[in-house]
Homo-oligomer: A and B are copies of this chain.
Amino acid sequence: MMADKITPARVSLEDVARLSGVSTATVSRVLNGSAIVRESRKTAVEKACKELGYVINRAARTLASRKSMTIGAVVPTLAIETFSRPIDAFQKIIHQQGYTLLLANSDFDMDTELNEVNKLLEYGVDALMLVGHTHHPQLWKRLQQHPIPCIQTFSIDPQRPAVGYDSILASQQLLQHLLALKHRHFAVIFGSPPSNDRLSERLEGIRQGLQHAGLSLAAENCIENAFTMNDARQAMFRLLDGPQPPTAVICGNDLLAFGAMRAAKERYLRIPNDISITGFNDYEFAEHLEHPLTTMRVDLAGIGRLAASYLLATLNGHPAESLSCVTPQLIIRGSTGSAPQ
């Protein structure tokens, strides 16, 4: 009905200047809060802005000022709590300082990640948040051409700014707990492609730990493509029906662990008497499951918060710790127990 109406010319800073009887430079000064504007003019400008319903054009501002007041983030996916929580926290912090979030997904793929980073660079993001510390070989080169602060999350990296934890260590703590319970037959249900460095490291940690104990992880007992709870459940069935049924199953996160438990239960296995299961992250529900989950607690929101703080500090020219450790904590609950005889 009103679809044909001509788009009204957007009101510009010049319109404001005209109405308030000052130059565009002065309007700009008021908008940017430069203190050196006489009060009377400032008021006039503000009044004009209101009257005209002026909305600043950030593209123009970005072009002229060379800063966009946006921060980019690339995460594997938002569909799981592991990333939606940090992003939620991250976004809230940067917003407080006037920044807007440009968000992209990598889908756990390094090429995609690089592409998205490129696109964010095109948009002129002032800073960048990434997940993990292994990226496309070209990524750092790109970031060198466009030197903006960049923080990596979930990992620690001696080379570059990061906020996270030592995945190897974390997985080994879990393993030690299981080893101390005399488990000897292990399986792993993980959920990400090889490009996920955190998971690779956790797997590596487990392998090392097992080797150290004179044990090893059978190939059939190493599932690496379980993403949803139901995937994990199916994986668990396969494990139980496999040649080397485990007595302890280490899962990539609490949701996968829940799926594994579920399968165990459907097979009438007692937890933890017949089988022990561990998670990761300590999602909110973990302690409330029928068999409260033994897991590593990770401060997910904290990761987002620290990443944001690092970037903001750097953007403001303040020195910032280039490595923040968010140490996961072993939470022992009822889902793990002594290995069956």
How far in angstroms is the closest Cβ of chain B from A55?
5
- Contact: A118 with B55, CB < 8 Å? yes
Chain B residue with Cβ nearest A7: B147
- Contact: B88 with A79, CB < 8 Å? yes
From residue 188 to 231 of chain A, which have CB atoms closer than 8 A to chain B? 228-230
- Contact: A57 with B63, CB < 8 Å? yes
- Contact: A101 with B103, CB < 8 Å? yes
Given known contacts A55-B145, A57-B63, A88 and B95 CB-to-CB distance under 8 angstroms: no
Q: Which B residues are CB-close (under 8 A) to A63?
A: 57, 59-60, 63
Q: Which B residues are CB-close (under 8 A) to A288?
A: 229, 233, 258-259, 262
Q: Which B residues are CB-close (under 8 A) to A55?
A: 118, 121-122, 145-146
Q: Which B residues are CB-close (under 8 A) to A120?
A: 100
Given known contacts A58-B122, A229-B285, A230-B284, A102 and B105 CB-to-CB distance under 8 angstroms: no
| Copies of chain A in the complex | 2
Q: Which B residues are CB-close (under 8 A) to A92?
A: 105
Q: Which B residues are CB-close (under 8 A) to A285?
A: 229, 255, 258, 285
How far in angstroms is the closest Cβ of chain B from A307?
15
- Contact: A102 with B100, CB < 8 Å? yes
Complex Cα gap A119–B96 (Å): 13
A105-142 vs B, Cβ < 8 Å mask (1 yes, 0 no): 10000000000001111111000000000000000001
- Contact: A124 with B59, CB < 8 Å? yes
Q: Which B residues are CB-close (under 8 A) to A121?
A: 55
From residue 35 to 84 of chain A, which have CB atoms closer than 8 A to chain B? 53, 55-60, 62-63, 68, 70, 77-79, 81, 84
- Contact: A122 with B84, CB < 8 Å? no
Q: Which B residues are CB-close (under 8 A) to A84?
A: 78-79, 81, 84, 88
- Contact: A104 with B104, CB < 8 Å? no
Complex Cα gap A334–B121 (Å): 51
A291-326 vs B, Cβ < 8 Å mask (1 yes, 0 no): 000000000010000000000000000000000000
A8 within 8 A of B: yes
Given known contacts A59-B63, A288-B259, A290-B290, A95 and B104 CB-to-CB distance under 8 angstroms: yes
A278 within 8 A of B: no
A10 within 8 A of B: yes
Complex Cα gap A289–B255 (Å): 12
A91 within 8 A of B: yes
Given known contacts A8-B145, A101-B104, A284 and B228 CB-to-CB distance under 8 angstroms: yes
Q: Which B residues are CB-close (under 8 A) to A79?
A: 84-85, 88, 301
Given known contacts A100-B123, A104-B101, A284 and B229 CB-to-CB distance under 8 angstroms: yes
- Contact: B100 with A105, CB < 8 Å? no
Complex Cα gap A71–B10 (Å): 19
A27 within 8 A of B: no
How far in angstroms is the closest Cβ of chain B from A66?
9
Q: List 6 A-B contacts (CB under 8 A).
A: A79-B301, A81-B81, A91-B103, A101-B102, A228-B284, A230-B284
The 7 A-B pairs of least Cβ separation, nearest first, read A84-B84, A59-B62, A78-B88, A290-B290, A79-B88, A59-B63, A58-B122
Other A-B pairs, 8, CB within 8 Å; known A58-B59, A70-B123, A92-B105: A53-B145, A59-B60, A91-B104, A100-B102, A101-B104, A103-B103, A258-B285, A262-B288
